[in-house]
């Protein structure tokens, strides 16, 4: 009996130590989100894949958009870039960054296991309002290589601090689109436009957005995660107005809920039914 009790205590102690180590790994490395100058990496096939993956994230429309010269490469149905939501090319904390992504897939989602390739193609068909990339194709290989590169050294199966979106408390008042429209005009329209159609880049080539459209035919479709009120409000509160990570005053949680209620209620392309 005594041996059993001692063994049980040792198991508990070991579990507690493991949990403590996990939390140390979770928040103990502030450099996970340091900028990587990938385009200056030395020559080599793997590095070329990483660089191409970075380019696909930051200038998706240039390689996969609806206006590219090669019709076979028109996988995206809009001119958004992945980096319009995954800010700083996937290195912005609480903007759905990529840092722990590679090491946490395959992942259980909605009671089924999905691969990272499937997750990427979910974005292609919803956020990009397009069609799936070939799983064995060069573009998918490059995207996976870039995401794996950003996760080098991160603990396996542990999402480091800053991953996903910052949890947002429930609003004091029910989210209201009318209040949200006033917030949008005051806080968002100067970048995303009064008509919600975004702002093109001010430098050549002007083939992408400095601020993406948040509704209309050029925006994400109705099945996109950003069209969910909970997702949209959490993203807005953590990342908007642009520059909040550099000291700009964030909007309140209630305003984030309200403005998300406003722009998610606006017209946009219909999306595919989720499995």
Residue 11 scores a pLDDT above 70: no
Residue 23 scores a pLDDT above 50: no
Residue 29 scores a pLDDT above 80: no
- Comparing 10-19, 97-106, 226-235, the range with the smallest average pLDDT is 10-19
Does the domain at residues 177-263 carry the CATH identifier 1.10.390.10?
no
| Per-residue b or e along 212-241, where b marks 16 or more CB atoms closer than 10 Å to that residue's CB | bbbbbebbbbebbbbbeeebbbbbbbbbbe
Q: Where are the domains of the chain?
A: 31-150, 177-263
Same fold? 31-150, 177-263: yes
**Cβ neighbours around 134 below 10 Å, total:** 12
pLDDT class of 246 with cuts at 50, 70, 90: low
Give CA separation, 250 vs 31, 48, 109, 241, 243, in Å. 24, 38, 31, 6, 9
DSSP assignment string, the chain = -HHHHHHHHHHHHHHHHHHHHHHHHHHS-GGGG----GGGPPSSHHHHHHHHHHHHHH-HHHHHSTT-SSGGG---SSS--GGGTSHHHHTSTTS--STTTGGG-SEEETTEEE-HHHHHHHHHHTTS-S-PPPTTSHHHHHHHHHHHHHTTTPPTT---TT-S----PPPSS---HHHHHHHIIIIIHHHH-TTS--EE-SSSS--SEEE--SSSTTS--TTSGGGSHHHHHHHHHHH-STTGGGTPPPPPHHHHHHHHHHHTTS--PPPPPP-
Q: According to the model, what pLDDT value does residue 190 have?
A: 95
Give the span between the Cα atoms of 266 and 28, in whole angstroms.
Answer: 41
pLDDT class of 134 with cuts at 50, 70, 90: very high
Q: Which of 194 and 110 is assigned the larger pLDDT?
A: 194
Long-range contacts of 63-68 (CB under 8 A, 24+ apart): 63/139, 64/128, 64/130, 64/133, 64/139, 65/207, 66/130, 67/207
Residues with Cβ within 8 Å of residue 235, at least 6 apart in sequence: 85, 95, 96, 165, 226
Give the span between the Cα atoms of 117 and 94, in whole angstroms.
Answer: 22
Q: According to the model, what pLDDT value does residue 25 have?
A: 47
- Comparing 24-33, 59-68, 102-111, 154-163, the range with the smallest average pLDDT is 24-33
- Comparing 8-17, 49-58, 198-207, the range with the smallest average pLDDT is 8-17
List, in sequence order, every residue forming a beta bridge with 209; answer none if it has no partner.
200
For residue range 142-158, list pLDDT tens digits in order.
999 999 999 998 888 78
CATH number for 31-150 (one of 1.10.760.10, 3.30.420.480, 3.40.1010.20, 3.40.50.740): it is 1.10.760.10
Please say whether the beta carbons of 216 and 133 come within 8 A: no
In this prediction, residues 180-196 reach a mean pLDDT of: 97
Q: According to the model, what pLDDT value does residue 82 have?
A: 98
For residue range 65-114, list pLDDT tens digits in order.
999 999 999 999 999 999 999 999 999 999 999 999 999 999 888 788 99
């Amino acid at each position: 009996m005594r041996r059993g009790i001692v063994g049980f205590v040792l198991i508990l102690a070991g579990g507690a130590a493991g949990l403590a180590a996990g939390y140390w790994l979770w928040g103990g490395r502030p450099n996970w989100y340091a900028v990587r100058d990938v385009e200056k990496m030395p020559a080599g096939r793997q590095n070329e894949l990483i660089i191409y993956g970075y380019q696909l994230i930051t200038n998706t429309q240039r390689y996969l958009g609806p206006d590219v010269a090669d019709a076979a490469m028109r996988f995206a149905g809009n001119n958004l870039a992945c980096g319009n939501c995954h800010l700083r090319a996937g290195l912005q904390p609480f903007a759905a960054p990529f840092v722990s992504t590679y090491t946490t897939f395959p992942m259980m989602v909605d009671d089924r296991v999905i691969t990272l390739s499937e997750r990427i193609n979910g974005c292609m068909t919803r956020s990009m309002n397009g069609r799936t990339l070939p799983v064995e194709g060069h573009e998918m290989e490059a995207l996976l290589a870039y995401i794996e590169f950003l996760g080098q050294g991160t603990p396996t199966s542990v999402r480091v601090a800053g991953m996903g979106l910052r949890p947002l408390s429930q609003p004091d008042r029910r989210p209201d689109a009318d209040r949200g429209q006033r917030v949008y005009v005051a806080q968002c329209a100067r970048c995303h436009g009064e008509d919600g159609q975004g702002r093109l880049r001010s430098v050549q080539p002007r083939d992408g957005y400095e601020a993406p459209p948040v509704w209309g035919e050029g925006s994400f479709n109705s099945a996109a995660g950003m069209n969910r009120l909970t997702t949209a409000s959490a993203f807005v509160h953590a990342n908007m107005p642009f520059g909040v990570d550099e000291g700009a005053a964030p909007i309140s949680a209630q305003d984030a809920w309200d403005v998300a209620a406003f722009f998610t209620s606006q017209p946009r392309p219909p999306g595919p039914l989720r499995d």
